[in-house]
C-alpha cells in the first residue's frame, strides 16, 4: 500500500508523490524512484518497484516531476503546455528538493537518512547530475540511462530554433508532444557545468549500478558503456540484461513481470542491500 503526498516546490510547482513502506520510515533507508522522458510514477513497473522495495524493508518515494505532462489525472498527459517548458535543470532542482524534504522529516521522522536513487532513462541522467549538488545521496542505480543529453542533429536544432518548438510523438498515447527551445537552451548553456554527465559520473565516488538491456533501441547500450568508462570502477557495477529492451519487456498498464525484469529487480535490491542497509 502507498500513501499520496503533494510537495510544493520553491518555484510554486507541485510534485505528486507516492510513499511506500511508510511504517518503515523511522529506521529504514530511503529509495527514490526517478522516472524518465514521457514517464510518470504510475507507469507500468514503477508501482511494482515501489511495493517490491517496501516489502524488502525500504521506505520508497516515487513521484512525478511537475512538468512531465501529467497533472491531477495521474495516468494521462493533460498538461502538454508544462511538458513543453520542462528542462533538465528544473528536474534536478525538484529532485534535490524532494531529497531535502525527506531528510528534513517531511514524510515522517527518520533516524536512518541513507538515500539511494533509482533513475530510468532520462531519470538516470537527472539522478547522477543531482549528485553534483546534493551530497546526501549514498548510492545510485541507473537503468537504461542516457549518457548524452544533446541528442539532436544540427538540422533539428536549426528547425527547432526557427519554429520555436520541437515535436516528439508518443507512440503509446498517439499524442504529438512539443518541446520549447527552453530545453535546448538549458542543454547548451550548462553542458560544461551542471549538465556535464562525464563530470557527474567521474566525481560520484560512491556505489553506482549501471543496468542496461543489450537490445535497447531507445537508448543504445553504448551509452551505458560510456557511463561505465567515466565511472570509478572500484565502486561501479555494470549489469547487462541480454535480450532486453528499454523497459525490460514491461508494459503499461502492467500485465505482470518476466524473468528479465525479475533478475533486474533482484540485482538492484542486492546492490542497495550492500550499500544502504
Q: What is the largest CA-CA distance in the chain?
A: 54
pTM metric for this prediction: 0.98
Neighbours of 232 (CB within 10 A): 14
For residue 1, what pLDDT band results from cuts at 50, 70 and 90?
A: confident
The full set of domain ranges for the chain reads 2-77+87-148+194-276
Query: Is residue 123 over pLDDT 90?
Result: yes
Query: Is residue 12 over pLDDT 90?
Result: yes
Q: Are 60 and 110 in contact (CB under 8 A)?
A: no
Cis, bond preceding 165 (omega within 30 deg of 0) = no
Buried b (16+ CB within 10 A) or exposed e, 36-57: bbbbbbbbbbbbebbbbbbebe
Cα angle at 36 between 34 and 40, to 5 degrees? 75
pLDDT digits 0-9 by tens, 204-256: 999 999 999 999 999 999 999 999 999 999 999 999 999 999 999 999 999 99
Helix (H, G, I), strand (E, B) or coil at 93: helix
Q: Are 22 and 107 in contact (CB under 8 A)?
A: yes
pLDDT digits 0-9 by tens, 99-121: 999 999 999 999 999 999 999 99
pLDDT digits 0-9 by tens, 126-170: 999 999 999 999 999 999 999 999 999 999 999 999 999 999 999
In the chain, which ranges are E strands? 2-8, 14-20, 30-34, 59-64, 115-120, 139-143, 165-170, 175-180, 208-213, 236-241
Note the CATH architecture for domain 2-77+87-148+194-276: 3-Layer(aba) Sandwich (3.40)
Give the residue from 40, 31, 103 showing the smallest Cα distance to 73. Answer: 40
Q: What is the pLDDT of residue 81?
A: 98
* Cα within 13 Å of Cα(138), Cβ side: 17
Q: What is the pLDDT of residue 76?
A: 97
Query: Is residue 263 over pLDDT 90?
Result: yes
pLDDT digits 0-9 by tens, 46-63: 999 999 999 999 999 999
pLDDT digits 0-9 by tens, 24-41: 999 999 999 999 999 999
Provide mean pLDDT across the span 189-204. 98
Amino acid at each position: 500500500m502507498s500513501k499520496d503526498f503533494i510537495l510544493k516546490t520553491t518555484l510554486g510547482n507541485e510534485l505528486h508523490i507516492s510513499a511506500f513502506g511508510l511504517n518503515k520510515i523511522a529506521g529504514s533507508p530511503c529509495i527514490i524512484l526517478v522516472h524518465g522522458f514521457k514517464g510518470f510514477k504510475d507507469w507500468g513497473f514503477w508501482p511494482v518497484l515501489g511495493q517490491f522495495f517496501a516489502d524488502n524493508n525500504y521506505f520508497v518515494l516515487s513521484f512525478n516531476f511537475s512538468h512531465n505532462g501529467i497533472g491531477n489525472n495521474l495516468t494521462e498527459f493533460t498538461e502538454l503546455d508544462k511538458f513543453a517548458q520542462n528542462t533538465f535543470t528544473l528536474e534536478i532542482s525538484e529532485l534535490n528538493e524532494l531529497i531535502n524534504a525527506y531528510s528534513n522529516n517531511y514524510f515522517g521522522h527518520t533516524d536512518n537518512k541513507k538515500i539511494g536513487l533509482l533513475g530510468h532513462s532520462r531519470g538516470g541522467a537527472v539522478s547522477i547530475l543531482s549528485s553534483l549538488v546534493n551530497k546526501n545521496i549514498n548510492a545510485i542505480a541507473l537503468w537504461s540511462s542516457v549518457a548524452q543529453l544533446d541528442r539532436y542533429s544540427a538540422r533539428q536544432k536549426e528547425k527547432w530554433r526557427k519554429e520555436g518548438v520541437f515535436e516528439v510523438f508518443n507512440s503509446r498515447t498517439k499524442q504529438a508532444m512539443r518541446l520549447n527551445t527552453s530545453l535546448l537552451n538549458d542543454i547548451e548553456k550548462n553542458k560544461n557545468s551542471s549538465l556535464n554527465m562525464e563530470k557527474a559520473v567521474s566525481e560520484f565516488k560512491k556505489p553506482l549500478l549501471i543496468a542496461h538491456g543489450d537490445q535497447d533501441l531507445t537508448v543504445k547500450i553504448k551509452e551505458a558503456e560510456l557511463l561505465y568508462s567515466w565511472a570509478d570502477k572500484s565502486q561501479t557495477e555494470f549489469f547487462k540484461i541480454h535480450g532486453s529492451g528499454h523497459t525490460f519487456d514491461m508494459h503499461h498498464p502492467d500485465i505482470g513481470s518476466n524473468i528479465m525484469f525479475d533478475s533486474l529487480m533482484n540485482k538492484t535490491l542486492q546492490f542497495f542491500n550492500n550499500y544502504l542497509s
